[in-house]
């Protein structure tokens, strides 16, 4: 049995920026403290929501190191080190391991993409070269690649491949994966609006965008499910479903950074090519946030 990296709600934390577009490391430390104070169970650094694809190598490593150092083992830190270049993914992963990351989040190759056989070779090649657990990250809407349940079976055979962040939105495929893999690999919901359905099928928690603004509430939904109280989990999930959807009304992380700025968390802008929300969409987001008493 592989060791579970975390249970509950892990925040896919934003990377705060200064107005000139540089990384705001001081604010990152404040966000980490805010998350830990409000019951977040783990931190995902340099994921999609952290704009990892817009960070250069030096920034990517410094953001990971800052997060690991400041978190100081209070909760697990999982570093996003995936790439569409297998060799570069290995380079980043080895560096993150040396920094002290508790796990690695590994997105599927994007743009050049690959076959299911290519996915197996890519992930096994990386997993052979590190000694920390890997979370496979399946997000076809971003990458154009979808990991099939049968492929997960093969990948789960590797001791260092410990978990899946599943963000393909396909509950039927999830059930198939669970049936095939059993306890050989942990699963986390990659979509905030599917926490309870995923956990009812055995997932260990969520990797959450929503947790950036309401970490305690995200934790509570997952914890209710971990406690076997799916009725409470569903009640909380549906309570916040409108807000969760509003956070994906534009390309992630544009809406969540906008929301955080409206709440006074001052995380700054997204880096180009991401830009500000159109006024009409931002006004809808504001209206939704007002309904929840956030602004």
Is 205:9 a contact under the CB 8 Å cutoff?
yes
DSSP state of 139: -
Assigned token pair, 290: 């007002």
Residues with a known catalytic role: 137, 165
3-state helix, strand, coil in the chain (%, to 5): 50, 15, 40
Q: Quote the Cα angle for 101-107-111, to 5°.
A: 145
Length of the chain counted residue by residue: 295
Q: Is the preceding peptide bond at 98 cis, omega within 30 degrees of 0?
A: no
Give the Cα separation of 183 and 135 in Å (integer).
15
Give the Cα separation of 202 and 205 in Å (integer).
9
Give the Cα separation of 5 and 10 in Å (integer).
10
Give the Cα separation of 274 and 253 in Å (integer).
9
């Amino acid at each position: 049995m592989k060791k579970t990296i975390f249970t509950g709600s892990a925040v896919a934390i934003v990377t705060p920026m200064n107005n000139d577009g540089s990384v705001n490391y001081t604010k990152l430390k404040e966000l980490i403290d805010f998350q830990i104070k409000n019951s977040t169970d783990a931190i995902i650094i340099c994921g999609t929501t952290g704009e990892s694809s817009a960070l250069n190598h030096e920034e990517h490593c410094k953001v990971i190191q800052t997060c690991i150092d400041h978190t100081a083992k209070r909760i697990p830190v999982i570093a996003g080190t995936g790439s569409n270049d297998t060799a570069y993914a290995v380079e980043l992963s080895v560096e993150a391991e040396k920094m002290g990351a508790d796990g690695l989040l590994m997105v599927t190759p994007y743009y050049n993409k690959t076959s299911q056989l290519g996915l197996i070779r890519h992930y096994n090649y990386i997993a052979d070269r590190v000694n920390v657990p890997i979370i496979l990250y399946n997000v076809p809407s971003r990458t154009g690649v979808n990991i099939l349940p049968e492929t997960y079976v093969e990948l789960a055979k590797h001791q260092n491949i410990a978990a899946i962040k599943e963000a393909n939105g396909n509950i039927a495929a999830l059930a198939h994966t669970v049936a095939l893999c059993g306890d050989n690999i942990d699963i986390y919901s990659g979509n905030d609006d599917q926490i309870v359905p995923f956990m009812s099928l055995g997932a260990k928690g969520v990797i959450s965008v929503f947790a950036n603004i309401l970490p305690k509430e995200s934790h509570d939904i997952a914890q209710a499910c971990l406690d076997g109280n799916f009725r409470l989990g569903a009640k909380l999930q549906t309570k916040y479903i409108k807000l969760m959807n509003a956070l994906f009304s534009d390309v992630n992380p544009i809406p969540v950074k906008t929301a955080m700025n409206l709440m006074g968390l001052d995380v700054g802008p997204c880096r180009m090519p991401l830009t500000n929300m159109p006024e009409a969409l931002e006004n809808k987001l504001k209206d939704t946030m007002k309904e929840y008493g956030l602004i």
